[in-house]
Structure 1
Amino acid sequence: MTTETQRRPMAFVREPASDEDMARANHYALISRLFHAAPDGTLLDTLAASGDWPVDGDAPSAEAMLMARAWNALCAASSAMDAAAAQDEFDALFGGVGRPQVVPFASFHLAGFVNEKPLARLRDDLAALGLQRAAGESDPEDHIAALADVMRLLLTDTTRSEADRAAAQDRFFATHIEPWYGALIDALDAAPEANFYRRAGQYLRCFLDIENAARQIEA
Structure 2
Amino acid sequence: MTALTHTGTKKERNEKDDRTRQEAVPDVLEVSQLPTSKLPNFPARPLSIQGVMDLEREMLWSECGHEKPLEIDSVDAHRAQEYSLLAMLLSRSPDAATLKRIAKLGGDATPLGLAHLALAQTAATASVERVAREYFTLFIGVGRGELLPYGSYYLTGFLNERPLARLREDLRRQGIERTEAQAEPEDHAATLCEIMAGMASGQFQIPDIMQRRFFEKHLASWIGRFFADLERAEAAEFYRPVGSLGRLFVETETEAFMLPTRAEARNREET
TM-score (norm 1): 0.87
Ranked by relative contact order (alpha carbons within 8 Å, sequence separation 6 or more), the top structure is 1
Indicate the RMSD between aligned Cα atoms, in angstroms: 1.8
Instruction: For structure 1, list consecutive stretches of 5 or more residues without a partner in the other structure.
Output: 56-64
Change (3 A) 1:3 1:158: closer
Q: Does the CA-based 8 Å contact 1:32-1:148 persist in structure 2? A: yes
Query: Which is further off, 97-106 or 69-78?
Result: 97-106
Structure 1 residue 158, shift from structure 2 partner: 5.9
**Offset at residue 201 of structure 1 (A):** 0.4
Aligned counterparts of 2:210 and 2:84: Cα–Cα separation in 1: 18
Identical positions, percent: 32
Deviations 1:146-172 (A, max 9, x none): 001111111223674xxx531221011
* C-alpha spacing 1:130/1:173, structure 2 compared with 1 (3 Å): same
Aligned runs of 1:1-219 on 2, under 5 Å? Answer: 1-8=1-8, 9=12, 16-51=71-106, 53-54=107-108, 65-157=110-202, 160=205, 164-218=206-260
Provide closer, same or farther for how the CA distance between residues 168 and 201 of structure 1 changes in structure 2, counting only shifts above 3 A.
same
Distance 1:81 1:112 in 2: 33
Over alpha carbons, which structure has the higher Rg?
A: 2
Structure 2 unaligned segments of length 5 or more: list them: 13-64, 262-271
**Total equivalences in the alignment:** 206
TM-score by length of 2: 0.71
Counterpart-to-counterpart distance in 1, 2:88 and 2:99: 12
2:204 & 2:218 partners in 1: Cα distance?
23
Alpha-carbon shift at residue 54 of structure 1 (Å): 3.1
SS of residue matched to 2:226: helix
Could you say if the C-alpha distance between residues 13 and 82 of structure 1 is closer, same or farther in structure 2, counting changes exceeding 3 Å?
closer
| Separation in structure 2 between the aligned mates of residue 13 and residue 183 of structure 1, nearest angstrom | 33
Query: Is the Cα contact below 8 Å between 1:38 and 1:86 reproduced in 2?
Result: yes
Q: Give a deviation string over 1:66-110, Cα, whole Å, max 9, x none.
A: 101111001101001011111000001111233321111010000
